[in-house]
Amino acid sequence: MPFAELAFPSPNFAAAPAHERLGVCFHHSVMDFKTTIAHMLLPESQVSYHVLIALDGTRATLVIDEHIAWHAGLSVFRERPRCNDFLLGVAFAGDTYAAPLTDEQIASALEWLAPRWQRHRWSSAVMTDHRQISPNRKDDLNPAEWQRLFSAITVRFRD
């Protein structure tokens, strides 16, 4: 059964240049689903994700894939800076240090990835988390939860 998808367009994005969609950076929002959405809708927050995934797997699209969401900040992936320009930002509501990802959150993330995986010819090598692209600055996801998610991705999509 597909997970519910809601749209809450955030004002916090750049329409140009077009997003390159070379991979995905996963985050946790620390806040709950509704509070995170409310925060992302405030222009003064100057932060957004492409999609936010609730504990029950419900997804909220905040920024369309073609636009640049402001999720990574100062970041480097594969020696390339400005990850916002080329990595889509997917966040899980909550704090992965306080509680593990739910099975529904992981299943919803896999469902969201599926149509994009083939379209963009992704591999597990272009999946990362905020902790890895912004070391010493960000700590999401909890390394154990990143491993759970990454394992689920590699099993589901088998490079």
Domain CATH code at residue 148: 3.40.80.10
Burial track 63-102 (b if 16+ CB lie within 10 A, e otherwise): beeebbbbbbeebebeeeeebbebbbbbbbbbbbeeeebb
Interior angle at CA 135, CA 129 and CA 140, nearest 5 = 40
Residue-wise pLDDT for 117-157, tens only, equals 999 999 999 999 999 999 999 999 999 999 999 999 999 99
Among 124, 117, 143, 122, which Cα is nearest to 132's?
143
Q: Can you give the residue range of the structural domain that contains 111?
A: 5-157
Q: How many domains does the chain have?
A: 1
Verdict on whether the full-model pTM lies above 0.95: yes
Residue-wise pLDDT for 70-107, tens only, equals 999 999 999 999 999 999 999 999 999 999 999 999 99
Question: Is there a contact between 85 and 69 (Cβ–Cβ < 8 Å)?
Answer: no
Question: Is there a contact between 62 and 69 (Cβ–Cβ < 8 Å)?
Answer: yes
